[in-house]
Each structure stands twice: as C-alpha cells, then as structure tokens.
Chains A and B, each alone.
Chain A
Amino acid sequence: MTAFLAILLAGVGTYAMRAVFIVVLARRKFPPLALRALEYVAPAVMGALVMSMLITPEGTVVLGAPELGGLGAAALVAAKTRNHIYALVVAMSVFWLIRYTVA
C-alpha cells in the first residue's frame, strides 16, 4: 500500500502543478529566477535519473561497456533524429551486441 500512497502523492502534486496558474493564480506572474531555474530542471533531473536507474538496490553502480555503449548510442541517435523509438531500438541493439560478444 505504500506504493499506492506514493502514487497518490505524486498524482495530487502533478495535478496541482498543472492547475495552479490556470485555476488559482491566473493573474500572477512567475518570478524570473524560478523561470530560469525551471530551464535547468530537465538536464539536472534527467541526468541524475539515468544514473539512478543504473544503481542496484544495494547501492552498486552497474555501468560497464554494454551500458556505456547503449547510452552513448541513445544520445547520438536522439540528438540526430529526435526520435525516441529509433534511439531505443539502436541503443538496445548496441547494448545486447556488446553484452553478448565482448562481455
């Protein structure tokens, strides 16, 4: 049930972020500093998340050649095509290839 509690909290919070200016603070301006901070939320959080997803529950970082190759390929394809499906297919192929040939 703790999982459901986390889902509820995240759901209420997400709705609040979507509604706050539309429903409540329509005539309020966003502080410029917060606006600039928001620009860095995506790179900071996504960077942290990618690494966090490679850490086991015991705290070990799993970042070998297959992972580095796969993530590098994902970054290259996403930058070139901006298409998440291509990035996923190429990155998983590179990951499997290195895993089963080299490792």
Chain B
Amino acid sequence: MTISPSVLRGIQESIPLFIPAIPFALVFGIVVGESGIPALIGWSSSPIIFGGAAQITLLSLLGEGASVAAAATAALIVGARHLLYSVTMAPKFQDQPAWFRWLGSYVLIDQVFALAVVHRELEPDQFRQRYLSAGFTFWTLWMTFTALGLFVGPIIPSEWNLAFAAPVLFVGLLTVSIDRWQKALVAVVAMIVTVALADLPNRSGLLVASVLGIALGLVLERFRR
C-alpha cells in the first residue's frame, strides 16, 4: 500500500499546528473534572462538538450551574466564527463530491481552515486528500489529548487552582483577536457588563454582555477610518 504525497503532506503540516491546542486539552480535562460531569460524557463533546473553545465554554458553564439552553447558546456564540469559515470555503467545495462536503464540514476547525485557505489553488483531488488528512490528523490528536487531559486533570491538587488556566487561555484568545481600538473597547464593555450582571440566573449575563458588545461594535464601525 502506498500513501499519496498529498496525504503525507497533510499529516506533516498539521502536527506543528496542533501544539498550541495542547493546553486547551489539559484545561478541558480540568474543567470537566471540576464540573462533576462524568468523564466519559465530558469527553463525548470531543467527537460531538470538535472545537476546544466551545467545549471548554460549555462544560465550565454547566459546571457553574448554567442551564442547558444558556450553556449551549454560549458555546454556539463562541463557535460563530465557523460561519465565516464555511462561507469562505464554500466555492472551493463546489467541484467536490457530496460526501466530502458533508464530511469536510465536520473537521472545519481553525487550523484546518488556515491550511485550506492556503491550499485553495490545488487540484480538487489533491485538495481533498490534503484537507482530509490534515483534518483527521487533528481529529485523532484532539481525541487522544482530551482523553489524556481527563486523566491528568483530576490528579492535579485543587489547591493549585489550575481551573484559573481557563480564563487565562481565553484572555490569550481575546488578546490575539484585538487588532483595533474598537474591539478592545467592546471587550472591556462586555467584561464590565458580565460582572455587573453576575447575579442573573443561569449565566444569562454572559449572553446579554455578548449581544451588547456586538451591538456596540457595529455602532463603533462608523468611526473606522
């Protein structure tokens, strides 16, 4: 059996891109451990959702007593950027078989999108092989590392307060997403509103703050250039 060069390249180029996801897998394990949700159910979010930030959001909110609707809505808002990935990749998928459009959508995570944008000019067959081999390399690694995180998480003594790593990672994601002052202001306002609404039931303050922040962003757009 020979492996096509495109498949090999897809595997090779995805491994270094996976390294930044490793802390997310560890924090995921800690969050599930602290939530009181059975490990296997927590882990099932890896194949079912396949998105680190959305999974951590969902399970940490459930652990903090959020309702199913509030937690799922928050996880979906966190994942809203996937709409952008879908609309950007759609033209490239039109000369592809239907099965690939269905399957490829499942592995359209941040890193696969970043690679696929770069490989847009490849022939359809090559593009498909490269995309799927990268996508399912990430998939296999994420399944493995989130399972490892579930074993490592509960071993760490709770006095270390490693749960604090979750907001730390999200501050990192927040910082790299800010490329102009409007976004910084939106983030600060969303933070203040969330704290002000801390008493609201089911973590609904988070959703109110997100919607207000996005609305503020649209207003601030007028001040661009």
Contact = CB atoms under 8 A, between A and B. Distances in A.
Given A18-B105, A60-B198, A85-B23, A42 B166 contact: no
Which bucket holds chain A's interface residue count?
Answer: 35 or more
Contacts, number: 281
A102 to B, nearest CB: 15
Interface string A61-73: 1010001001100
Given A19-B105, A21-B87, A52 B61 contact: yes
Contact of A36 (B50, B168, B218): B218
Contacts of A75: 171-172, 174-175
B194 A18 contact: no
A98 to B, nearest CB: 11
Interface of A: 2-11, 13-15, 17-23, 25-26, 30, 33, 35-57, 59-61, 63, 67, 70-71, 74-75, 77-79, 82-85, 87-88, 91-92, 95-96, 99
Interface of B: 19-20, 22-24, 35, 37, 41-42, 44-45, 48-51, 54, 57-62, 64-65, 68, 71-72, 74-87, 89-91, 93-94, 101-102, 104-106, 108, 160-162, 164-178, 182-184, 186-191, 193-195, 198-199, 203, 205-206, 209-214, 216-218, 221
